[in-house]
Structure 1
């Protein structure tokens, strides 16, 4: 039997994270700055942007290079703690 804390992912790996927040002219640039604190090689060309149907919110899919479970958790904590971010999946 495998240990309970064993990860389902093999690290390092590319990991997509969905980040949603209210539409704001600086939202994408702000999220890029947060992610780059943890992933210096982050490729901004791989960001997928989806505005909500009403245009009040925007969703970004950012693909990070996660080096470990702890690294990924740090990225999630930084994103969820940012005041411009409503949801991180």
Structure 2
């Protein structure tokens, strides 16, 4: 008897994102929050706790059309799942951050 997977199982298996191999250079992180003069410095301060070698020259900032929100995009060398989880939890715990991608 063949042990072929059903089409649903195959689709679910194929839909899973690829595993990240650590360290992972150029790992993109985008933080979106309320636009304020010190939002970038707040995000960078949190990032430095988890990514001491953060390259600030690679940070890009974009404000929303009405200027209410600001997105900050960075590239880091991700060292492990624990680092990414801690970073995400600390950023999202702030009432200033709406989403971390």
* TM-score of the two chains, using structure 2 as the length reference: 0.77
Q: 1:10 aligns with which of 21, 28, 31?
A: 21
Find the counterpart in structure 1 of residue 98 from structure 2.
86
* Higher relative helix content: 2
Supply the RMSD in Å over aligned alpha carbons. 1.2
| Unpaired runs of at least 5, structure 1 | 1-6
| Pair 1:23 & 2:35 matched | yes
Q: Number of aligned pairs? A: 83
From the CA coordinates, give the structure whose radius of gyration is larger.
Answer: 2
| Pair 1:63 & 2:75 matched | yes
| Unpaired runs of at least 5, structure 2 | 1-17
* TM-score of the two chains, using structure 1 as the length reference: 0.87
